[in-house]
Amino acid sequence: MAIIINKPLDMHLHLRDGDMLKTVAPLSSKSFAGAIIMPNLVPPVTTREELVSYRDRIKSSIGDDTFTPYMTLFFKPTYTKEFLESIKDELTSIKLYPAGITTNSEGGVSGFNVEELRETLDAMSELEIPLSIHGETNGFVMDREAEFVSIYEMLATNFPKLTIIMEHITTKESVEALDRFNNLYATITLHHLMITLDDVAGGMLQPHLFCKPIAKRPEDREALRRVALDGHPKVMFGSDSAPHPQDAKESCGCAAGVFTSPIALQVLTQLFMENSTLEKLQDFVSNNAQKIYKNISVPKKSITLEKIPFTVPNRYGIVVPMYAGETLAYTITKIER
C-alpha cells in the first residue's frame, strides 16, 4: 500500500551553516515541502541582513528541490514595532530562548519580566507574528519543562492575541497546558514520540539520543503520543533535528541534539500505521501547522512512502542520524513537486 503525504512540514528545524548546512539541507528538502528554520547560529540571526542572507545560503544548498525555508529571528526584548514592521514579510516566527538553556542560546532572555517583554510582544501580537519558545527553566533537568508551564501561562494571559508555540514539548504538564489557553500551541519531535530517558541513559549512554529538552518518563511519552496520534489540532510536527559533528556528540561534554531529518517521515509513518491512526498523520505533519501559522504558504509537494525496508546510513557526512545502521519499515519511493 502506498501512503501519500501532502505538503509535509517540519515546524522546528536546525540547518546550521557552512559545510554542515550543505550536508543537511538537502536531507530536509528531499522529504519536506518547508520548514521553520531556527536562528541559533553563531552569532544568532537578529537582523534583516542576517536573515535574508541565511535564507539565500539555505536556498543555494537545496538544489532544485521544492522547499520553503520559513525564517525566524532570535528573540530580543529590544525589537521595536518599527523594526518588526520592516521585517515582518521576511519572517514566519520569532524564537525565544531562555539565556544559556541550550546550544547557542547565550544571548537569550533571563528573568521573564512581563514589563521588559511587553513592547516587543505587544508589537508581535498586533503584527500577528507568532512567538516560538524553548520552554525550560534552569532548575533540575527533569523538572525544567514542567516548571516553565507557569511562564507559558503568564505569557498566554498577558498577551492573549499572541500565538505562542511551546516548542518540542516533552511532558504531560505541557500537553495539559495546551487545552487551558486558546493561544497556546505546540510542536512535538519524532524522538520524543519514540524514546524515554531510559533509551538515553538507562543502559550504556547513547549520545546520539541526548538533546534538550531531555526525553522524559513513559507517561510523558504516552501523553505526547496521545495528542500526536489523535491529530490534536493544536499540535504540529517539528523535528528539532539538530545535527552536530560526530566528534562533538561522541565526546566528553556531548553536544545536545538528535539528527532525524532523513528518517522522520519514514518513522512517523510506521508509528501512525502501528497505532492504526494513519488518517491523522496528514494533520500532524501539515494541516494543523497550516491552520496555526496563518502566515505561511506551502508549495505543492507530495511524498509517497511504501512498506519497503530502508537501512539508515551510519552517517551523513560527519553527522550520525537517529537509528543509524538500523532497518526501518518504510521507504520514500516517490516525490512529486
Residue 83: all three cell numbers together: 523594526
Segments in the chain forming alpha helices (H): 18-31, 48-61, 81-87, 114-127, 144-158, 172-178, 190-194, 197-201, 218-229, 246-249, 264-274, 278-282, 288-292
280 binds ligand NCD (CB under 6 A): no
| Positions 70 through 109 that interact with ligand NCD (CB under 6 A) | 102-103
Q: Which of 7, 144, 191, 212 binds ligand NCD (CB under 6 A)?
A: 212
Report the residue number, 102 or 125, with the smaller CB distance to Zn ion. 102
Q: Which of 7, 134, 208, 249 binds ligand NCD (CB under 6 A)?
A: 134
Question: How many C-beta atoms surround the C-beta of residue 3 within 10 A?
Answer: 18
191 binds ligand NCD (CB under 6 A): no
Q: Which of 142, 201, 248, 256 binds ligand NCD (CB under 6 A)?
A: 256
Report the residue number, 125 or 196, with the smaller CB distance to ligand NCD. 196
Q: Which of 149, 229, 242, 292 binds ligand NCD (CB under 6 A)?
A: 242
Report the residue number, 68 or 105, with the smaller CB distance to ligand NCD. 105
Indicate if 240 belongs to the active site. yes
**CA–CA dist 174, 259 (Å, integer):** 23
Report the nearest approach of ligand NCD to the CB of residue 299 (Å). 25
Report the nearest approach of ligand NCD to the CB of residue 38 (Å). 6
10 binds Zn ion (CB under 5 A): no
Please say whether the beta carbons of 337 and 300 come within 8 A. Answer: yes
Please say whether the beta carbons of 337 and 66 come within 8 A. Answer: yes
145 binds Zn ion (CB under 5 A): no
**CA–CA dist 26, 20 (Å, integer):** 11
- List the catalytic residue out of 199, 240, 247, 283: 240
Report the nearest approach of ligand NCD to the CB of residue 109 (Å). 14
Q: What is the DSSP letter of 105?
A: -
Report the residue number, 102 or 286, with the smaller CB distance to ligand NCD. 102
Cis check for the bond before 213: say yes or no (omega within 30 of 0): yes
C-alpha R_g of the chain: 19
288 binds ligand NCD (CB under 6 A): no
Q: Which of 23, 29, 40, 261 binds ligand NCD (CB under 6 A)?
A: 40
Q: Name 107's Cβ contacts closer than 8 Å, sequence gap at least 6.
A: 43, 44, 74, 76, 99
246 binds ligand NCD (CB under 6 A): no
Helix (H, G, I), strand (E, B) or coil at 165: strand
Instruction: Write out the residues near ligand NCD by the rule CB under 6 A.
Output: 14, 40, 102-103, 134, 211-212, 240, 242, 256-257
